[in-house]
Structure 1
Amino acid sequence: MNGNLIVNIILAIILLGMIGYEVYQHFNRKRAAVILTEEEFRENMRKVQVIDVREKPEFDAGHILGARNIPYSGFKTRMVEIRKDIPVYLYDQKKSMSGRAAVKLRKAGYTKIYRLKDGYQNWNGKIKKK
């Protein structure tokens, strides 16, 4: 009985730690970038760097017209291709990878970071397919 109590306490501590970490990551992603609606995103697209962080096959199947593909899987090494003096607009299929990419950019000293609210899956603007 005493052994079961210890195991339960350890499992509860692990679970609380995991929940705490997820909550921390959620707020970290929220602080890293400003969330834009599709209309706001479209408004200044010609003046910014639009980055699609999905993998190449997804990008090739269809992407926002004018976007560059820097997949999240290689983002850490390729983010040097992104200028710090021009705002960065990020998107992915939904919004989880763009949030992680925003955190990486913020840690690297980028300050003008924006994310598409509902991701590419709900984009109604112009697209390009390869």
Structure 2
Amino acid sequence: MEIAITDGIKVSVETFYLPEYSVPSRRHYVFSYKIKIENLSANKIQLLRRNWEITDITGEVRNVVNGKGVVGKEPIMIPGESFEYNSGCHFPSPCGKMSGTYVMRKIEDNTLFEVQIPEFTLVPSFFNN
């Protein structure tokens, strides 16, 4: 599990290789990831945007994603609250990595700030043996 804390916002990432959806002979490797965002700050916050960079094993950036919210939501979290979601991606190579930021808003004063998403690697379990 990868973890980053920025301004009292903790982001944890857990990754999974999905062999049932992958076809290595066709260079198709599918992964899912679970993200937990915890508000450890004293502020009520809202997640507004996500910014991702998705890179394959060769170091080539496969995709840059900038969009509203996450999984169709713009969650609001009071202090001590958390939000979890699952998503996924696929690569033509067996390994890749993702990194990025969330743009958050402090509800009380409308201040915007960026929260780091820890860089994480997507690797099939058979590569770890």
**TM-score with structure 1 setting the length:** 0.26
Rg larger for:
1
Higher helix proportion, which one?
1
Higher strand proportion, which one?
2
